[in-house]
Amino acid sequence: MKKNIILLIVCTSALFSVPCFASSLPGAELSGNIWGIGMPVSLSADFKINPKMTVGLSVGLPIYHYQTFGIGRYDLRFMYLFSNENSLSIAGIIGAWGDTDILRPDTGNHYSPIGLEIGLALSYPFTSKLTGRLNIVAGLPLLAWGGQSAFGYFPPAGGIELGYKFSDSIEGTIGVTGQGDLLGLRIGF
């Protein structure tokens, strides 16, 4: 018990001492209700509806995105678990996403205030503490500035990461996601 309390204090203090990004990547293993927090502002939450379904959302300010700084992104998503055989979890993702910097269409960049995301989430536990996640998610912007709307944008629910469980409810992550996450902290509730 003391070990878990010390670990929680160390992880919490790390949020304030080093730059950290929340992991906004939804996991195909549907492990329960998850909060992702970090700095600069990046938040996510996934809520388990039943053993096969979750709904989630994320908001963030990626440091570097679309060749400019501080573009806000969001997504609202639904996941359905197709398979959980031989430890490999496969889930489908469908949702809405967008960029919030719609006030500057003159920059020449192609922001989309709303779009669709659809794809697959894969999750594999290498050990009881180390989990790999790969979300292959395509984004279809519905409204893009500059007269361009193209398939294949990298939406917030896509990415790749490794997660290490410090305890049953605390996981640290490293990877790259559509929200611009690099390092993260996921907390189960």
Mean pLDDT calculated for residue range 108-129: 85
- Can you give the pLDDT at residue 134? 95
Rounded to the nearest integer, the mean pLDDT of the chain is: 77
Span 87-116, mean pLDDT?
76
Confidence of residue 85 (pLDDT cuts 50, 70, 90): confident
* pLDDT value, residue 88: 94
How much is the pLDDT for 109?
Answer: 54
CA distances (Å), origin 138, targets 62, 88, 102, 121: 19, 21, 21, 11
Neighbours of 170 (CB within 10 A): 17
Q: The pTM is what? A: 0.77
